[in-house]
Structure 1
Amino acid sequence: MEGTTNNTGPGFVVVGVDGSDPACRAALWAAAEASRRDRPLHIVYGSDTDGRALYVSAESIEHVRQAGRELLGATADVVSGRFPGLSVDTEYSRSAPVPTLHRSAGLHGTIVVGNRGAGGFGSLLLGSVGLKVAAGARTPVIVVRGADNRTETGAVLAAVRDEHDLESALYAAREAELRNGSLRLLHVWNILQSVGNVVTLLDDVDQIAGLHVHHLNAVGEQVRQEFPDLTVRVDAEKSVSVAGVLVEASRHVDLLVMGGRRSPSYLGSTLGRTTHSLIHHAQCPVQLIPRTNHEHGSRS
């Protein structure tokens, strides 16, 4: 379909492709995710020909359209060959990749992107298009990272900062359940930041640490109540680098789930420092769960 948007419905998985190897890998990962969920896979190519029609020749635009349709067909063939029972459809859009993916996901779809793109015209490059997809999404976004030859364990890691991370922890629990695996809830306390905020109250550091653990345990208890058959491990660590601890922990799991906090910016939605670091350096795919309005402005 050209210039139209499918309502992919609850549980659909939407993946953006651009012909790059990371995007192809993301499509296969998205297919496996859709298969686990028993939901269709929607493969999208956003050509941005509408935005370039005034200064690109008609011949060039037709070439892009043909290449885009061929790419979608080839990707669908590869996915269907690997997952023969999976329902797969494709969408060629004349719009740019970012709005195309956001529209295609609707209110309930999950967007999957590769960790970098092909570059150039119509690319899906994390750091440009991919970052905008993640920063502006109102539905979950998964950035596919990590080595191709990883042995899957079913283990899922959820980064928990406070009680507002319950929703992302529950998403992580669902992912772990789909994988017949286990869930680790990890809270990393940046002790330098905490002490800096209470310079005159250094005697209260232990009390502050106890408060951090209290919030983590409360989230863990809620997750266990909703997923009583799931193995849930709850851990808290102190470090000067939250991102560093999470990157190291990501080496041992199949998926890292975290709330996609955003920082204020004159340029529009941007991802917080920790989130930005993880989608560039994590050793496994990273799933970002959108934040609610009262959390805007957090820099994590």
Structure 2
Amino acid sequence: MTRHIVVGVDGSAPAAAAVEWAAEDAQRRGSAVRIVHICEQWRYGSHGVEYCQGTLGAAADRVRALTRDVEVSTDLLIGNVVDTLIAESATADSVVLGSRGLGGFAEMLLGSVGLGVAGHATGPVVIVRGPSVVRHGQVIVGYDGSEHSEAAMLYAVDQARARGVPLHVVYAWQMPAFSPYAMAYSTMLSDLFEEETRAAAERVVPWREKNPDVTITDDQVTGHPVNALIQAGGTADLVVVGSRGLGGFASAVLGSVSHAVLHHLTCPIAVVRPRAK
């Protein structure tokens, strides 16, 4: 069965950008595109079906115009938008969404649908804010060795390979809080940082060995992971993060780092949850 990318559309500008991103990704990675529009029955009157079908048709035409030999299908679904997209993710390679849909507040960078799906979906969820105008030729991934970051690395390597660009791995270590008067801790903290950075660099080595066709660089910095990823993301075509890292609560569906990155970065962002084994 051909793997497929699900893209949700609602007629908004961010959704149109998501359609274009999904089309390019499908062309690069040999995937089919499944376009879905989800009608919540209470929102539509007698012309609802006509509007929904028109939205689907326009999106399908756009994918066909941007690709060659990519299989395109559409489906009009009824139900709760977030729950339906989460269900779609179970059999999809990835789910691609615009950052905000119709009815969202203009000042919000990320709508409730994107946040809800990114926190609960199976596999990668890509959030797209707008058309990609500038190509930087680099994929960034946050990697701390957790189960979720392992899944993020796998997707990031696949993306870098398909694009023919380098993959840059970012690891940020936050220095523990301590009293400025406790000078005896300075040497210990320095040693601890060296140990952390060495371990982070060593975690990347097997990925280079398994993927010799992909140029993989890495960087270890002192600071908050959010700041490190935002800074690195300024020159990225795609930033990939796990839905939760090592410091997250087990019950949290979306960690603080991925949550903050979704709200602050303007480039496409992939949030990846491990699939059930």
TM-score by length of 2: 0.86
Query: Which amino acid in the other structure matches residue 100 of structure 2?
Result: R
1:195 pairs with 2:187? no
1:242 pairs with 2:225? yes
Residue in structure 1 matched with residue 217 of structure 2 by the alignment: 233
SS at match of 2:216: strand
Q: How many residue pairs align between the two structures?
A: 266
Residue in structure 2 matched with residue 144 of structure 1 by the alignment: 128
Residue in structure 2 matched with residue 174 of structure 1 by the alignment: 158
Change (3 A) 1:207 1:146: farther
Structure 1 residue 232, shift from structure 2 partner: 1.0
1:184 pairs with 2:168? yes
Change (3 A) 1:196 1:15: farther
Residue in structure 2 matched with residue 288 of structure 1 by the alignment: 271
| Matched ranges for 1:80-229 at <5 A | 80-119=64-103, 126-145=110-129, 148-153=132-137, 155-162=138-145, 164=147, 165-191=149-175, 194-195=176-177, 201-229=185-213
CA contact (8 A) 1:261 1:291 kept: no
Task: Give deviations 1:77-98, integer Å, cap 9, x for gaps.
Answer: 1221121421110111011211
Partner Cα distance (1:26, 1:79) in 2: 11
Runs of 4+ in structure 1 deviating by more than 6 angstroms, as ranges, are none
Partner Cα distance (2:18, 2:128) in 1: 6
Structure 1 residue 100, shift from structure 2 partner: 1.7
CA contact (8 A) 1:145 1:286 kept: no
Structure 1 residue 264, shift from structure 2 partner: 5.3
Query: Which amino acid in the other structure matches residue 48 of structure 1?
Result: E
Percent pairwise identity: 29
Change (3 A) 1:114 1:147: same
Partner Cα distance (1:127, 1:269) in 2: 19
Partner Cα distance (1:186, 1:96) in 2: 36
Residue in structure 2 matched with residue 18 of structure 1 by the alignment: 10
| Matched ranges for 1:8-47 at <5 A | 11-47=3-39
Partner Cα distance (1:47, 1:135) in 2: 21
SS at match of 1:70: helix
TM-score by length of 1: 0.80
Residue in structure 2 matched with residue 256 of structure 1 by the alignment: 239
Structure 1 residue 136, shift from structure 2 partner: 0.9
**Structure 2: where are the runs of 5+ without partners?**
none
Structure 1 residue 202, shift from structure 2 partner: 4.7
Partner Cα distance (1:196, 1:141) in 2: 38
Change (3 A) 1:196 1:174: farther
Structure 1 residue 277, shift from structure 2 partner: 1.4
Comparing 84-93 with 25-34, which one deviates more in the overlay?
84-93
SS at match of 1:195: coil
Partner Cα distance (1:275, 1:287) in 2: 9
Partner Cα distance (2:274, 2:192) in 1: 24
Residue in structure 2 matched with residue 6 of structure 1 by the alignment: none
Structure 1 residue 148, shift from structure 2 partner: 3.4
Partner Cα distance (1:181, 1:205) in 2: 36
CA contact (8 A) 2:19 2:63 kept: yes
CA contact (8 A) 2:5 2:33 kept: yes
Residue in structure 2 matched with residue 4 of structure 1 by the alignment: none
**Structure 1: where are the runs of 5+ without partners?**
1-8, 294-300
Partner Cα distance (1:195, 1:249) in 2: 25
Partner Cα distance (2:260, 2:131) in 1: 17
Please give the root-mean-square deviation of Cα atoms over the aligned residues, in Å: 2.6
Partner Cα distance (1:202, 1:62) in 2: 70
CA contact (8 A) 1:113 1:143 kept: yes
